[in-house]
Amino acid sequence: MSLLVVGSVAFDDLETPFGRREHALGGSATYFSLSASRFHPVRMVAVVGEDFGPEQMRVFSGRPIDLGGLSKVKGLSFHWKGAYGYDLNEAKTLATDLNVFADFKPDLPEAYRESQYLFLGNIDPVLQLDVVRQMAKRPRWIALDTMNYWIRGARPALEAVLKEVDILLVNDAEVRELTHEHSLLKAYRKIQALGPRILVVKRGEYGMALFTPEGHFAAPAYPLENVFDPTGAGDTFAGGFLGYLAWIERTDVTALKHASLVGSVMASFTVEQFSTERLEQITQDEVRNRLALFSDMIRVEDL
């Protein structure tokens, strides 16, 4: 198998009720690849500026993350500044400086074009579609994340790329904005009509819901003593989800449920510290232990 992510690598200024960080490593491709690479090698396509130095590069080293598609160009890296209120469920964007990202045109290295798993991080759907068109053959699974900004401002392009997508990963508000349906069951049918066969709804501290043609599943979030910074939780989830699926090489609903638990557990680490601080340091034992506790927690004997 082979797993490709196209997304952002960024610097974030973060403010939560529990503290702040400036110029911290962020971006969808960053969180995704740090999470997915626990389970399967990852190929990354992204762009950074001259401010992205050896210190940042070190975060990716010693991991099965292929940076052959990470281009460094003149200028500054993508920068996002966000703040969270007490409930931590929604980020308020204070600043977005696209910088080198404004001219980002993903150009896939030849070898990447045969990747069997593709994650399209939350970027302009025009670019997402361009990536899909560069693939030499249809990946086994294409997953996509997007946001209200594109749903409102680039719907035709988004609908064009969604036709090619198998798995849509979004939050409650996004799926409702995309489908104009309050009920997620109804929303899922509209999503299917747009293309994706599978819908994953990310719900922050409330966990996630999975919709497949074979049935519906939902799981709470892994309960934590401390949540410092929810930034990157969704991309970390996506990384665990797809990394696990690429590793297990199964596409059945049980594998999708397990992938959901893996994604949730990975996200639980990310939010325990700012930026990628916790995600960088976890051990395989910590992942395994938390997965076992989580499985126990949601298990119910038959009624």
Catalog residues that contact a second copy under the rule CB under 8 A: 17, 86-88, 172, 182-186, 203, 206-207, 209, 215-221, 223-227, 254, 257-258, 261-262, 291-292, 295-303
Indicate the residue among 45 and 199 with the shorter CB distance to a second copy: 199
Minimum CB separation of residue 239 from a second copy in Å reads: 17
Ranges of beta strands (E only) in the chain are 3-6, 10-16, 19-26, 42-48, 65-72, 78-84, 91-97, 117-120, 141-145, 167-171, 198-202, 208-212, 215-219
Indicate the residue among 48 and 271 with the shorter CB distance to a second copy: 271
Minimum CB separation of residue 6 from a second copy in Å reads: 29
Minimum CB separation of residue 223 from a second copy in Å reads: 5
How big is the CA angle at 238 (ends 235 and 244), to the nearest 5 degrees? 140
Minimum CB separation of residue 151 from a second copy in Å reads: 16
Nearest one of 231, 239, 227 to 22, comparing CA atoms: 231
φ, ψ dihedrals at 124, nearest 5°: -50, 125
Minimum CB separation of residue 87 from a second copy in Å reads: 8
Task: At 45, list the tokens.
Answer: 């396509």
- Say if residues 254 and 217 touch (Cβ distance below 8 Å): no
Indicate the residue among 205 and 277 with the shorter CB distance to a second copy: 205
Q: What is the DSSP-derived secondary structure letter of residue 18?
A: T
Indicate the residue among 52 and 211 with the shorter CB distance to a second copy: 211
- Say if residues 141 and 255 touch (Cβ distance below 8 Å): no
Indicate the residue among 34 and 221 with the shorter CB distance to a second copy: 221
